[in-house]
Structure 1
Amino acid sequence: MREENILFAVISLLGVLVLLSLVLVSVPKTSDMMFSPGERLSPIDATVNVEDNNAPVITEHNPGDLSLNALGTDDLYFNVTFEDVDGDFLNVKWFVDGNDIKKTTGFLGSGFDEFDFNFGCGVKGDRKVKVEISDGFDLASVEWNIDLTLVACDSGGGSGGGGDGGLANFTVSRDLIDVDLKQGQELTQTLVVKNTGDVGLAISSSFVGSTNLFSVTPINFNLDSGSERAFDIIFDIPSSQQPGINTGGVTFKAGTVSRTVNLIINVLDSGILFDVNSELDSSILLKNDKIFANINMTDISNQGPVVVNTSYFIKDFEDNSFFLGSENLQVNGFLSLDREFEIPKELDYGRYLFYVELSYNDKKASSSNAFRLSPASLWYRALLISIAIILLIIAGLLAYYLYKKNREKKELME
């Protein structure tokens, strides 16, 4: 009787695990299991009130002059000495043109930190290097302004992408740039690439999408192991450019290693009448998910009750559009609405852009949100694999039990 109870328990457990695995397969992602859409967007109050905290103080910085002139290929050196009268733990961050390049932690009460950087050939103009010292609540900072003189890059190849059996790898400080520009405007965004491998690299770049709206300098460059340098993405919007959302991408490649920076270029109408903003319920979606979007429209020119045409799209970063639908809406000052959309089945995994375009009297306003179309997350796959392994173990134990039971019966019969 005891053995039959064990067998019943094993079979029951097997049934529960099978049922659990079926439930997990039908659920697309963790966030949908745990929260409603409203709960996922609800802020969490994590306010910490600190009284009588003293900010860190930078007691010395080098160079002492905060306005510098340099060649693009000069090796620039910076350092700071700092202290905190409260004796707090201090963290130091260094930035180049807004890019977070270096972080040092663990200073107790005081410290000294240094930073060196070479902007490299092919870049010029006004540059900034900034350091911030934080005790977790307050900051002290110093910023150097550098007038950089252009040094042309040598033509030809570089030192290769991983010869002599070395490891070739590099990083780029950002993988997405989102800009809003009016017709006729220009803007330069600086990024930093770092060679994290142990061989020198010859890095080249290629472009996709709305390539008439941006350029990169330098296009090709060499980078020694462990070194880093700046490059510029220059946005230049023609005065005749149609308002709306444009996308593009810059891919840097060295040997078999590549890194892509995706671009979102929102060209604003010079005579804009409406402002539109959108938010997605989730920035990571599965193929069987829907896009849930909240859209807010504001009449900034006091047109009164008017009917506007609103269109919805998905774009990839090669500037290909996928139409989701359109509708006419009446806006009287302000309108907020929620919409849901099916994800086109032809989309492959990768990064995309949801965007909404509002049109009224030949004027347009746009808003966009980047999202990733992803296969099941790693934890989800790991959980399913674990369940499969458990099921196999239980099936094996059950088979062994039945084999043993059958053998005992045969022995009794003999």
Structure 2
Amino acid sequence: MTLEHTSYGKILFNEIINISGDESIGEQPRKVINLSAYTNISFNQIFINATGLPQLNKSATLSLYNLSFTNPRILRDGLICPSEICTKISYAAGTLIFNVTSFSAYSAEESPATPAGGGGGGGGAGAVVKEKVSSFTVDKDLIKVMLKQGETKKEFLEIENTGEKTLDITIDLRNLRDFIIFPGGVSEYSFKLKAGERQTVQLIFNIAKDQEPGVYPGKIIIKGYGLQTIVTTIIEIESEKPLFDIEVEILEEFKEVVAGKKVFAKIILYNPKGTGLVDVEVDYAVMDIDGKVIIKEHETVAVEIRTSFIKDFTIPSFVKTGSYILYAKVTYEGVIGTSSSLFNVVEKPYVEKPIQ
């Protein structure tokens, strides 16, 4: 069995895997497991909850993609992985491949430079020095803000150095530079963070008065010593004085969906001024975190004061696993209101067919 996130990594089990659950359909029992609830493949990390799903606690070949190390070494739960558990196979073009005998959380870090040999002296054995571990945490993995044209808001990130080395932290705003600045008006930010220290970083969301209303997703990337954490960021911008409000919320049971299936969402439209029954234009889109639009839909809806309905969207079968945004925009007399809701496309659950 193989599990893969095409941007981050892959798990290739070296043994036959048999997993089962307790759900049933009709009179025929069928056992279903949602693997995404027990596994995580993200940047420079592969994790399986072997306690929750012990059937996956098997030997496997792991691949970590898009690394930037020169000579990486393997970590298990943040510590150097013992040779009896981890065996490095290769590292080329940013992909580290290695075998593991069982599961926990695996990642990688840069191997320290080998110190030059000392001068001559006695023949005693050299001391064994334990290498210090590098790691940090960020208190958020998602920021979602709603602003009007010309509006400014502040958000905060707390970054903690949970390792044993001083880290040079850099924060990359990528495609969000038009919307976010740091104090002092700068668009780049970096600082040193000693072991055990925390620092709160202020993000200033500043929207121009002529910014086109819409939903703008992106990533804030925090880096330090070859490690990287991504904070998914969604910015909803609506007209300075919207005439209509809209809310969109993915139904709870559809916040994880398999490609090729439908997502159901509740849509609510408000006419706060109660101007009578009017037709408004509603546009929908499903997009990835980089802003690439997957599907689009448009309809005209009659609204008097408030109307709500359930709408479904079919996710194309070619869509890869990851986080996606359902975006809705209501337009009336050229004035725009916006809303969005986040959901995840996951691997197809394993299904054990009943024995006939």
Q: In which range does the TM-score fall when normalised by the shorter chain? A: 0.5 to 0.7
Q: Aligned residue for 2:317?
A: 345
Whether the 8 Å contact between 2:150 and 2:240 is mirrored in structure 1 is no
Q: Does 1:247 align with 2:242?
A: no
Equivalent position to 1:191, from 140, 157, 174: 157
Deviation at 1:22, TM superposition (A): 9.2
Deviation at 1:220, TM superposition (A): 1.4
Q: Aligned residue for 1:321?
A: 293
Matches within 5 A, 1:296-307: 296-307=268-279
The AA in structure 1 aligned to 2:169 is I
User: In terms of Rg, which structure is larger?
Assistant: 1
Change (3 A) 1:200 1:22: farther
Q: Does 1:170 align with 2:136?
A: yes
Whether the 8 Å contact between 1:162 and 1:199 is mirrored in structure 2 is no
The share of aligned pairs that are identical, in percent, is 25
> What is the SS of the residue equivalent to 1:209?
helix
Deviation at 1:161, TM superposition (A): 6.9
The list of structure 1 runs, each at least 4 consecutive aligned residues, that deviate by more than 6 angstroms after superposition, is 19-22, 27-31
Q: In the TM superposition, what whole-angstrom CA distance separates every residue of 1:284-315 from its partner, at most 9, and x where no partner exists?
A: 22224311001010111222111111111112
Structure with the higher fraction of residues in strand conformation: 2
Deviation at 1:258, TM superposition (A): 0.9
Deviation at 1:29, TM superposition (A): 8.9
Deviation at 1:225, TM superposition (A): 1.5
Structure 1: any 5+ residue segments left out of the alignment? 1-16, 32-159, 392-414
TM-score w.r.t. length of structure 2 = 0.60
> What is the SS of the residue equivalent to 1:270?
coil
Equivalent position to 2:147, from 181, 184, 196: 181
> What is the SS of the residue equivalent to 1:220?
strand
Whether the 8 Å contact between 1:243 and 1:268 is mirrored in structure 2 is yes
Aligned length: 237
Whether the 8 Å contact between 1:248 and 1:263 is mirrored in structure 2 is yes
Change (3 A) 1:306 1:191: same
> What is the SS of the residue equivalent to 1:231?
strand
Separation in 2, partners of 1:28, 1:223: 38
Separation in 1, partners of 2:151, 2:262: 36
Deviation at 1:204, TM superposition (A): 1.8
> What is the SS of the residue equivalent to 2:309?
strand
Separation in 1, partners of 2:36, 2:162: 34
TM-score w.r.t. length of structure 1 = 0.52
Change (3 A) 1:170 1:30: closer
Separation in 2, partners of 1:24, 1:212: 48
Deviation at 1:241, TM superposition (A): 0.5
> What is the SS of the residue equivalent to 2:178?
helix
Structure with the higher fraction of residues in helix conformation: 1
Whether the 8 Å contact between 2:328 and 2:338 is mirrored in structure 1 is yes
- Higher RCO (C-alpha 8 Å, min separation 6): 2
Q: Aligned residue for 2:116?
A: none
Separation in 2, partners of 1:346, 1:247: 21
